[in-house]
Amino acid sequence: MSLGTTPPGTSGEKQASVWVQRMFADIAPKYDLLNHLLSFNIDRGWRKVLLTRLKPILIRPGARVLDLCCGTGDVLIDLQSAAASPIIGADFCHPMLVTAHAKSSKRGFQAPLIEGDAMQLPLADASLDAISIAFGFRNLVNYEAALHELLRVLKPGGLLAILEFSHPPGLFMRIAYGFYSRALLPFIGSLISGSREAYTYLPESVSKFPTATKLQDMMFTAGFADARFELLTGGIAALHLATKSTARA
């Protein structure tokens, strides 16, 4: 059976995808505020690690880099600030992209934005030097199919970077984070966003998400070379990196 997000009350990939798209549209106006508030701004540090790992590619003139599931554009803007060429943003939620456009314009960037589904990207085979996905991969409806799609659009030697919530290996962190994400987070999140379902879905989708080791295995199985990960903040998040083998077309 394929692994992917399974929001409550949905059956099948199509319904799951529509649910995720609508849920992000509902919370888009409050997304940034809640993101930083609920993570006590720790998410900024995680995004900085992502930026550091991508920097050698970003500074290469002409490098084509995609920030997939770009949402309101925080990673996109960070990457753009360090990049020699325009970073492409893609997301299937229109209201999130509207905010990404406004924020990047305010910073003086003309980010090329694509409104499209990560499961079927409107991009040519072997056309990208790197792809980043921050907190978007977990929401995809079929992880195996998504990895194949990402492999398709990467150039041989291209880098995939997935930043995602994970599973703390230490008991103390697991208990503390479990309490926070199951009790406090849905309460604060629903109070501010008005959407209880979004902030109940978040910890549920994290608990169902594969462990870092399992995701690493999935990346190898999909055909990536050199799949590796680093745990961040005691394993609350993980940064996965993998390369498309130069032997692949």
Interface positions with ligand SAM (CB under 6 A): 17, 20, 24, 35, 69-71, 74-75, 91-93, 96, 117-119, 134-136, 139-140
Question: Toward ligand SAM, which CB reaches closer, 4 or 235?
Answer: 4
In the complex, the smallest distance separating the C-beta of residue 133 from ligand SAM, rounded to whole angstroms, is 7
In the complex, the smallest distance separating the C-beta of residue 146 from ligand SAM, rounded to whole angstroms, is 8
Question: Toward ligand SAM, which CB reaches closer, 140 or 222?
Answer: 140
Question: Toward ligand SAM, which CB reaches closer, 102 or 175?
Answer: 102
Answer for the pair 242, 147: CB distance below 8 angstroms, yes or no: no
In the complex, the smallest distance separating the C-beta of residue 105 from ligand SAM, rounded to whole angstroms, is 18
Which amino acid is present at 79? L
In the complex, the smallest distance separating the C-beta of residue 195 from ligand SAM, rounded to whole angstroms, is 13
Q: Which long-range contacts does 203-206 make (Cβ < 8 Å, 24+ apart)? A: 204/8, 205/5, 205/7, 205/138, 205/139, 206/138, 206/165, 206/181
234: left (phi over 0), alpha (psi -120 to 50) or beta: left
Answer for the pair 131, 154: CB distance below 8 angstroms, yes or no: yes
Cα-Cα end-to-end distance for the chain = 28
In the complex, the smallest distance separating the C-beta of residue 143 from ligand SAM, rounded to whole angstroms, is 11
Question: Toward ligand SAM, which CB reaches closer, 117 or 204?
Answer: 117
Question: Toward ligand SAM, which CB reaches closer, 75 or 239?
Answer: 75
Question: Toward ligand SAM, which CB reaches closer, 95 or 157?
Answer: 95
Query: How far apart are the C-alpha atoms of 23 and 32, rounded to whole Å?
Result: 15
Shortest Cβ contact with ligand SAM: which residue?
A: 71
Q: Are strands 88-91 and 65-68 parallel, antiparallel or unpaired?
A: parallel
Answer for the pair 216, 147: CB distance below 8 angstroms, yes or no: no
In the complex, the smallest distance separating the C-beta of residue 93 from ligand SAM, rounded to whole angstroms, is 3
Query: How far apart are the C-alpha atoms of 224 and 207, rounded to whole Å?
Result: 25
Q: Which of 226, 221, 229 lies closest to 245 in space, CA to CA?
A: 226
